[in-house]
Amino acid sequence: EVQLVESGGGLVQPGGSLRVSCAASGFTLSSYWMSWVRQAPGKGLEWVANINQDGREKHYVDSVKGRFTISRDNAKNSLYLQMNSLRAEDTAVYYCASELRLWGFFGMDVWGQGTTVTVSS
Amino acid sequence: DIQLTHSPSFLSASVGDRVTITCRASQGISSYLAWYQQKPGKAPKLLIYAASTLQSGVPSRFSGSGSGTEFTLTISSLQPEDFATYYCQQLNSYPLTFGGGTKVEIK
Check CB contact under 8 Å for A106 and B49: yes
Q: Are A59 and A72 spatial neighbours (Cβ–Cβ below 8 Å)?
A: no
Q: What is the rounded distance in angstroms from the CA atom of residue A1 to the CA atom of residue B69?
A: 37
* Chain B environment of A111 (Cβ under 8 Å): 43-45
Q: What is the rounded distance in angstroms from the CA atom of residue A70 to the CA atom of residue A58?
A: 7
Tens digit of each residue's pLDDT (9 = 90 or more) over A33-71: 999 999 999 999 999 999 999 999 999 999 999 999 999
The C-alpha angle B99, B69, A65, rounded to 5 degrees, equals 45
Q: Quote the strand ranges of chain A, DSSP E.
A: 3-7, 10-12, 18-25, 34-39, 45-51, 58-60, 68-73, 78-83, 92-101, 105-111, 115-119
> How sure is the predictor about A102, in pLDDT bands with cuts at 50, 70 and 90?
confident
**pLDDT the model gives residue A27:** 86
* Chain B environment of A37 (Cβ under 8 Å): 44
Tens digit of each residue's pLDDT (9 = 90 or more) over B18-63: 999 999 999 999 999 999 999 999 999 999 999 999 999 999 999 9
Average pLDDT over residues A70-83: 97
Q: How far is A45 from chain B (nearest CA, A)?
A: 6
* Partner-chain residue, chosen from A47, A50, A95, that has the shortest CB–CB distance to B43: A95
**pLDDT the model gives residue B26:** 98
Q: Considering chain A, what is the average pLDDT of its residues?
A: 97
> How sure is the predictor about A104, in pLDDT bands with cuts at 50, 70 and 90?
confident
Name, in order, each residue with C-beta under 8 angstroms of B64's C-beta and a sequence gap of 6 or more: B33, B35, B47, B48, B51, B52, B53, B54, B71, B72, B73, B74
* Chain A environment of B53 (Cβ under 8 Å): 106
* Chain B environment of A105 (Cβ under 8 Å): 32, 91
* Partner-chain residue, chosen from B38, B49, B97, that has the shortest CB–CB distance to A107: B49
Q: How far is CA A6 from CA A37, B13, B58, in A?
A: 12, 35, 25
Name, in order, each residue with C-beta under 8 angstroms of A1's C-beta and a sequence gap of 6 or more: A25, A26
**Among residues B2, B6, B29, which one has the least CA distance to residue A47?**
B2
Q: How far is CA B49 from CA A31, A42, A97, B54, B65, in A?
A: 20, 25, 15, 7, 10
* Partner-chain residue, chosen from B36, B46, B91, that has the shortest CB–CB distance to A105: B91
Q: Are A63 and A69 spatial neighbours (Cβ–Cβ below 8 Å)?
A: no
Check CB contact under 8 Å for B45 and A111: yes
% of chain B beyond a pLDDT of 70: 100
Q: Could you tell me which chain A residue has the CA closest to the CA of B33?
A: A106
**Among residues B29, B19, B6, B35, which one has the least CA distance to residue B78?**
B19
**pLDDT the model gives residue A103:** 84
> How sure is the predictor about A12, in pLDDT bands with cuts at 50, 70 and 90?
very high
